[in-house]
Amino acid sequence: MRDNGRVTSATRQPETPAATTPPRLIATDLDGTLLRDDKSVSPRTIAALAAAEEAGIEVFFVTGRPARWMDVVSDHVHGHGLAICGNGAAVVDLHGGPGAHRFVKVRELARENALDAVRLLREAAPGTVYAVEQTFGFNQEPAYPKLHVEVPDSLAPAEDLLAPDSHTAGEPVLKILAYHPELDPDAFLTLARLAIGDRANVTRSSPSALLEISGPSVSKASTLALCCAERGISHEEVVAFGDMPNDVEMLTWAGRSYAMGNAHPDVVAAASGRTVANNDDGVAVVIERLLDERR
């Protein structure tokens, strides 16, 4: 979940780690990674994804996006139909198409933890405003800015939205969004992690000071590991792509990983290789090379 801000202007050619175990699964972020800045999937990337699937390599989209924003890639999920959404908070079957997806796995943020996170971050960073992302619903505080392309289901203080007797109580909370109008994004992330501690997992995928707060053990990496274990796939057999801090754990976990040419410095440090920017089809460039290695 990021907008079209460029993090760096790097356009260097891909660096490929030394060949290791042949890949069985490709895990790729969407915004800033697989998608171009106009949110399209290029013809070259579509062809590369199809070629990977034809070669027997599963492709998983692993994103901070909610399930209802997955229509941009729902035509490209191929046989398994699954995507990891909400930074690992949900595994979703997209076969039904937009609005008809099915939640296969939900790793919710307990309301008690969510309320603790809101309280602690309000104390540490006055002026923070919140939105609450659920399996199907999206609710926000009145002061939360219009950062998204949808109208919220309701407006109320986060404490009311997360209360056990709230009208939202029947639906799992996937993550909280926390926005600060003044703080530097990386400084806000560091401050929030220190304030919240082990009560929740805090990350970010936007170039603005917008944080994403999930369950304590929930991340792209941990949910991807669960999906791989169900398939008998080891981390050495996974190739991962990303561009923002919410991708760091996944890139560290995967046997081979690539930071995009437009990636955040923390992502570059975490990945074992680099590719060109999302607008230059950096994911496709690597997939094509991986398939050439198999021939």
Q: In the prediction, which pLDDT does 76 show?
A: 67
Say if residue 254's pLDDT is above 50: yes
Residue 250 counted as domain residue = yes
Say if residue 267's pLDDT is above 50: yes
Q: In the prediction, which pLDDT does 69 show?
A: 85
Do 235 and 163 sit in the same domain of this protein? no
Do 131 and 46 sit in the same domain of this protein? no
CA–CA separation, 242 and 287 (whole Å): 14
> For 99-103, 163-167, 182-186, 213-217, which range has the lowest pLDDT when averaged over its residues?
99-103
Do 199 and 124 sit in the same domain of this protein? yes
CA–CA separation, 50 and 285 (whole Å): 14
pLDDT band at residue 20 using 50, 70 and 90 as cut-offs: low
Do 89 and 135 sit in the same domain of this protein? no
Question: What is the pTM (predicted TM-score) of this model?
Answer: 0.91
Do 177 and 241 sit in the same domain of this protein? no
Q: In the prediction, which pLDDT does 102 show?
A: 87
Do 209 and 224 sit in the same domain of this protein? no
Which amino acid type is present at position 180?
A: H
Last residue of a domain, one of 184, 214, 244: 214
Do 116 and 180 sit in the same domain of this protein? yes
Last residue of a domain, one of 185, 214, 243: 214
Do 266 and 143 sit in the same domain of this protein? no
Contacts of 127 (CB under 8 A, 6+ apart): 180, 181, 182
Residue 202 counted as domain residue = yes
Q: What is the CATH number of the domain that holds 93?
A: 3.40.50.1000
Q: In the prediction, which pLDDT does 71 show?
A: 80
CA–CA separation, 26 and 34 (whole Å): 12
Q: Give how many domains the chain has, as a whole number.
A: 2
Do 260 and 121 sit in the same domain of this protein? no
Q: In the prediction, which pLDDT does 21 show?
A: 85
Do 31 and 121 sit in the same domain of this protein? no
Q: In the prediction, which pLDDT does 78 show?
A: 62
Residue 18 counted as domain residue = no
Q: In the prediction, which pLDDT does 98 show?
A: 62
Do 76 and 36 sit in the same domain of this protein? yes
For residue range 166-176, list pLDDT tens digits in order.
999 999 999 99
> For 144-148, 164-168, 280-284, which range has the lowest pLDDT when averaged over its residues?
144-148
Say if residue 77's pLDDT is above 70: no
Average pLDDT of 83-91? 97
For residue range 4-19, list pLDDT tens digits in order.
343 332 333 455 554 5
Last residue of a domain, one of 169, 191, 214: 214
Q: What is the CATH number of the domain that holds 142?
A: 3.30.1240.10
Residue 20 counted as domain residue = no
Do 165 and 246 sit in the same domain of this protein? no
For residue range 120-142, list pLDDT tens digits in order.
999 999 999 999 999 999 999 99
Please give the residue range of the domain that contains residue 99: 25-107+219-293
CA–CA separation, 192 and 203 (whole Å): 9
Which tops the pLDDT comparison, 241 or 81? Answer: 241
Of the candidates 265, 231, 219, 226, which has an alpha carbon nearest to the alpha carbon of residue 29? 219
